[in-house]
Amino acid sequence: MLAAVEHAKLFEKELKGIKGYHVMKKHYKAYANGFDGAKELRAKLMETESAAEAEKIVNDFLRNSGII
């Protein structure tokens, strides 16, 4: 999931003003798939409007899951 956050950050850095953040959201299905809580995490990520929001959601998920 940390790769998803880095992807979102790079997207904003390189494509901000060229493409809208909504384009990034299509990638979240690939990142949040195949593990417990993936569906709920993906739903939250789809509501984000920035990499910073996505990072907070992912970090919260990882903390709540006991991963970090």
Amino acid found at 17: G
Please count the CA atoms within 13 angstroms of the CA of 37 that sit on its side-chain side: 14
Q: With bands split at pLDDT 50, 70 and 90, how would you rate the model's confidence at 66?
A: confident
Please tell me whether residue 60 adopts helix, strand or coil conformation: helix
For 11, other C-beta atoms within 10 Å of its C-beta total: 17
How many Å apart are CA 16 and CA 43, to the nearest integer? 23
pLDDT for the residue 68: 74
Give this prediction's pTM.
Answer: 0.88
Whether residue 1 has pLDDT greater than 90: no
Calculate the average pLDDT of the chain: 93
Instruction: State the average pLDDT over residues 54-66.
Output: 95
Please tell me whether residue 2 adopts helix, strand or coil conformation: helix
